[in-house]
Amino acid sequence: MSCSPFDLRDYYLKELTDPQQRQVESHVKDCRACREELQRLRLTQAALFSLRDEEIPQRIAFVSDPVFEPSGPRRWWTAFWGSPGRLGFASAAMLSAALLISAATRTLGPGSAAGLPSAEVDRRIERAIDASETRQNAKTTQLVHDLAQKADTEHQLRLVAESEADYAKRQAYALELKSGEYYTPASN
């Protein structure tokens, strides 16, 4: 870290203006920490210049390059199944063939709707609707019955609770009269 008003790296790389360069030079003469920092920058540059130059590779090989592909009898098989487009096409072709074979070999049985006259189909539909409505009406009737029974039970419980509360009040009143603790408002 430098206490100089300018970055020492800028000074070292001569990116400051002349007045700024002179200002840093005068500061470095008086500041030991900045002199050490400047010395470290010089050592770093010397170390970098001491490394030998190596040529940058022109091309980087990837695993997908032809050099790495397998050769031999399995090559066409992996190339075919390794391509998403070809795999999708093969899947669509197999599905289409399966649908065509299924449609060609399909036979209509005696219970299928295609073998019946439309009047019979209408009759069967009406019977199915009637059966469904009957089941729904039975469920609705059962639900109404259950709700009515629940309401009746709750009403009976409420009546019993009110009766017991009234009986408890009468018993308490009778005990107060016997013990003489109850006074009528007129006796005050």
- The pLDDT tens digits for 45-63 are 888 888 787 777 666 655 5
Q: Which two tokens stand for residue 111?
A: 């219970």
Length of the chain: 188
- The pLDDT tens digits for 14-43 are 888 999 899 988 988 988 888 999 899 888
- Number of helices (H), then strands (E), belonging to the chain: the values are 6, 0
DSSP SS3 for 70: coil
State yes or no: pLDDT of 8 exceeds 80. Answer: yes
Q: 91 vs 132, which has greater pLDDT?
A: 132
How far is C-alpha 41 from the chain's CA centre? Answer: 52
Quote the CA–CA distance of 55 and 52 in Å, as a whole number.
Answer: 10
pTM value is: 0.32
DSSP SS3 for 72: coil
Average pLDDT, the chain: 81
Q: 171 vs 116, which has greater pLDDT?
A: 171
| Per-domain residue ranges of the chain | 8-49, 138-180
Percent of the chain with pLDDT over 90: 28
